[in-house]
Structure 1
């Protein structure tokens, strides 16, 4: 089974940011629960629209492990931690393997930093004129996976079309220091 790709994944720096995200998710119909341990013994909890939240300390590897497991099983995750700490970087890296991760507004609002390498490679190829099918083949991805990665990128950029995502990617890439 694959994780639900639309389950929210947020890594934020403060409790205030977490509260803002959690209020929005609750309004959208998500059930908010403290802690990262899942109450449901079944593997796929994506249909429950459950979002788990809590603080992950610099050395709290068990909570980080539980957060990643919950996300892999389809639950949403809102983790309060320092994304620059070793545990925070590992958490963001692990969650990114499952899908897009929204980080603190304090993290410069740079969407490119939240893209996984496959998404960046696909967007680069699309920007150079390749079709999604050609870009997928060049990156050794199935067309389905490529389409999912591009859809996730569109969501991260907050746009509706692939063309808009490519343009947003190029604009942000130009603003990055070399």
Structure 2
């Protein structure tokens, strides 16, 4: 059985990158800025290397595609609606799934971190974003304070942040306009 395809993320905003990179680091990936890879070995699948950075031109997009083909995880930040962005998404899609945190486009919208939160976590984060305390949010959602704190801790871990404030901000950024 072959190892799973390393993840490929195409982000339209650099503000989403820290959340993705923290999650990859937690999962055991070594992150490195830039897409040029060492010449020593072709297959990098076992190295768990994740490369990231901006993709301003077609030459950099080629480096991203080569890194993904060699088995590195990639986090590319670029205009996904431009010619380079569309071409890179199309090419990466041939290697495996392409995850995006915003802007539906040629590859369609993949599941974001927020999509993986359970409804209780989303409801609690919505209430915290509206200024409620954890205790008030727990009561409004008919949860004990202990359960609410546990759900929020799980949401922090899923979002790749350390504080509840960071979790609320990451949640709002990924969720987009109020549904």
Instruction: Give the TM-score, by structure 1 length.
Output: 0.57
Deviation at 1:19, TM superposition (A): 1.2
Does 2:48 match 1:28?
no
Q: Is the Cα–Cα contact under 8 Å of residues 5 and 98 in structure 1 kept in the other structure?
A: no
* Partners of 1:93 and 1:48 in 2: CA distance: 25
Q: Aligned pair in 2 of structure 1 residues 81, 4: CA closer, same or farther (>3 Å)?
A: farther
Q: What stretches of structure 1 of length at least 5 have no aligned partner?
A: 116-152, 159-178
Distance in 1, matches of 2:43 and 2:109, equals 25
Aligned ranges 1:9-158 → 2 under 5 Å: 9-57=8-56, 60-104=57-101, 106-108=102-104, 113=108
Secondary structure at the counterpart of residue 6 of structure 2: coil
In 2, Cα distance between the equivalents of 1:77 and 1:7? 8
Alpha-carbon offset, residue 114 of structure 1: 5.6
State the distance in 2 between where 1:63 and 1:19 align.
20
User: What value does the CA root-mean-square deviation take over the aligned residues?
Assistant: 2.6
Distance 1:4 1:67, change over 3 A: farther
- Structure possessing the higher radius of gyration over alpha carbons: 2
Give runs of ≥4 in structure 1 deviating > 4 Å: none
TM-score under structure 2 normalisation? 0.57
2:52 touches 2:74 (CA, 8 Å); kept in 1? Answer: yes
Question: How far 1:71 sits from its partner (Å)?
Answer: 0.3
| Unmatched 5+ stretches in structure 2 | 117-179
Q: Say if 2:12 and 2:103, in contact at 8 Å, map to a contact too.
A: no
Q: Which residue of 1 aligns with 2:123?
A: none
State the distance in 2 between where 1:43 and 1:55 align: 23
